[in-house]
Structure 1
Amino acid sequence: MASAKPISDETSTTKSSALRTDLPPGQDAYQQIVSDIRAGNLLPGDRLTEVDLAARFGMSRTPVREAIRQLEADGLVMHTPRLGATIRTLDHSEISELYDMRAVLESTAARFAARAGSGVELSEIETIQAAMSAARSSEERYRQNQNFHAAILDAARNRFLLRAVQSVQKTLLILGRSTMEEPKRAEDAVREHAAIVTALRSRDEDEAERAMRLHIQGAHAARLRQLRDARPLDSDNHEL
């Protein structure tokens, strides 16, 4: 079964990543655009123009066009009349629905991991948790958080569940910066991860599922706070 690799191993940056010569040009362009979305350099509603992106990435328009098509297939980009390709915008209801689905799927993954994960896999999850606890930067916390959730999906051993979770995670990239950049949320996440690890080690399926659900609910609340804080004070739009 394919490993549950994080969607992108790149950490958040303030500018686009350098050209990845180890990837096909279309995939390289895709990864760079995804990195910019996650870093908040490309925001919901922003236009994606082939000419500008090709110049910025130092490549022809063809791989950029391929990347935009893939982003559209993934639900991250939509075509808007008179604007062309734009980063998709999620409203409050869609965000809540995505986190509800994430809670259902990832809590199920934790239950499956408690049942089916090998001792080696559970040790790896614990090691990743320790690395996240020791992390001193938001970029490292983000990376270890991604690794933690990917390792649980691997231990769950269910390829259909894996694909469903990855689909939700891709759409959530539209929301931009990780909530791990908020120190209080990062501290809470470390404690929540520790509770998940304890349940996994005890092979307690019910507690593993419950702990993961609480963790995702905490992430949802942090995301709503982040979006609320970023909203202009004079905005008449009550959607997040």
Structure 2
Amino acid sequence: MASSETRSPGSGSGLGVGSGSVRPVSKAAAAYASLRKSIRVGDLEPGERVTLKRLSEHLGMSLTPVREALSRLESEGFVVHDPHRGTSIAELTPARIEQVYRLRGVLEPMAVRLAGERATPADIDRLRELVLACDEATTPLEVVENNEDLHLAIYRLSGDSLLLGFIDQLWAGMPYPSLGLYGSQSRVSQSSQEHHRIVEAMAEGRLDDAAETMRLHIDHGRAAALKNLDAD
């Protein structure tokens, strides 16, 4: 009997701490990872209705693994199912934004502190390159993607796979492109300054400062997200 597993570079988490080796995952896990990424990057927008048939055709999979993936996403709050309206991507609400950013404000400063304890000079140089990539981004989507690359690179340095898993769960369900966080130049400039301060504090061993700056950075993002949601 043919194996039900496929080969995939990972589970879809942007925060994997492994060596990047190829690992076998089930078709349901592959469908879950693909759909969760589509939610995170905004390809599947908040409130958008989806059908099992449409998603199965898009992923090139049978109905069963996609159904399992949707069930898992529903249990995690990424999609909602209404008996009368069907299945849709979870709406962004002020309460959800507050919840996600509140937890990020606790976990991510912790990851920064751990990362600072482990970071080598080469690691710091790489983080500086990622900060510059954020500064040089020319479109809002590019800013969002480069920002994610920087944050995840910092958190991977913590070496704490359990902590990374929790952070990944928070990032995965929040479609940052849809929030329009970097639509204003003032927010882009503020974020850039905070990125520089975080990395330089890590480089100098000022880990309390690095963690506190990350906490403020996340809180400023929360305020911008709520403001943009209210404007919509």
Query: Do both share a fold (TM > 0.5)?
Result: yes
Moved runs in structure 1, 4+ residues, more than 6 A?
A: none
SS of the equivalent of 1:179 reads coil
Partner of 1:148: 150
SS of the equivalent of 1:139 reads helix
Q: How much does 1:5 deviate? A: 5.7
Pair 1:206 & 2:174 matched:
no
CA–CA distance in structure 2, aligned partners of residues 228 and 31 of structure 1: 30
Q: Out of 193-202 and 24-33, give the one that drifted further.
A: 24-33
TM-score (norm: length of structure 1): 0.76
Indicate if the aligned counterparts of 2:94 and 2:229 stay in contact, CA closer than 8 A: no
Q: How much does 1:83 deviate? A: 2.7
Cα distance change, pair 133–5 in 1 and its aligned pair in 2 (3 A): farther
Indicate if the aligned counterparts of 1:153 and 1:162 stay in contact, CA closer than 8 A: yes
SS of the equivalent of 1:78 reads strand
SS of the equivalent of 2:191 reads helix
CA–CA distance in structure 2, aligned partners of residues 126 and 174 of structure 1: 23
Q: Per-residue CA shift, 1:133-179, capped at 9, x if unaligned? A: 11222232222111111111111222221111111112323883452
Q: Identify which of 77, 80, 98 aligns with 2:79.
A: 77
TM-score (norm: length of structure 2): 0.78
List alignment gaps of at least 5 residues for structure 2.
1-9, 16-24
Alignment of 1:74-223 (within 5 A): 74-173=76-175, 176-223=178-225
CA–CA distance in structure 2, aligned partners of residues 34 and 181 of structure 1: 24
Alignment of 1:32-51 (within 5 A): 32-38=34-40, 40=42, 42-51=44-53
Indicate if the aligned counterparts of 1:77 and 1:86 stay in contact, CA closer than 8 A: yes
Q: How much does 1:197 deviate? A: 1.1
What is the root-mean-square deviation of aligned Cα atoms in Å? 3.0
Q: How much does 1:67 deviate? A: 3.0
Pair 1:6 & 2:14 matched:
yes
SS of the equivalent of 1:82 reads coil
One-letter amino acid matched to 1:108: M
CA–CA distance in structure 1, aligned partners of residues 30 and 215 of structure 2: 34
Q: Which protein has the bigger strand share?
A: 2
Indicate if the aligned counterparts of 1:30 and 1:67 stay in contact, CA closer than 8 A: yes
Partner of 1:17: none
Q: How much does 1:51 deviate? A: 1.7
Q: Identify which of 60, 63, 67 aligns with 1:61.
A: 63
- Count of residue pairs the alignment pairs up: 215
- What is the identity percentage for the equivalent residue pairs of Structure 1 and Structure 2? 30
SS of the equivalent of 1:180 reads coil
CA–CA distance in structure 2, aligned partners of residues 99 and 86 of structure 1: 23
Cα distance change, pair 36–161 in 1 and its aligned pair in 2 (3 A): closer
CA–CA distance in structure 1, aligned partners of residues 177 and 89 of structure 2: 10
CA–CA distance in structure 2, aligned partners of residues 69 and 122 of structure 1: 40
Cα distance change, pair 100–216 in 1 and its aligned pair in 2 (3 A): same
SS of the equivalent of 2:174 reads helix
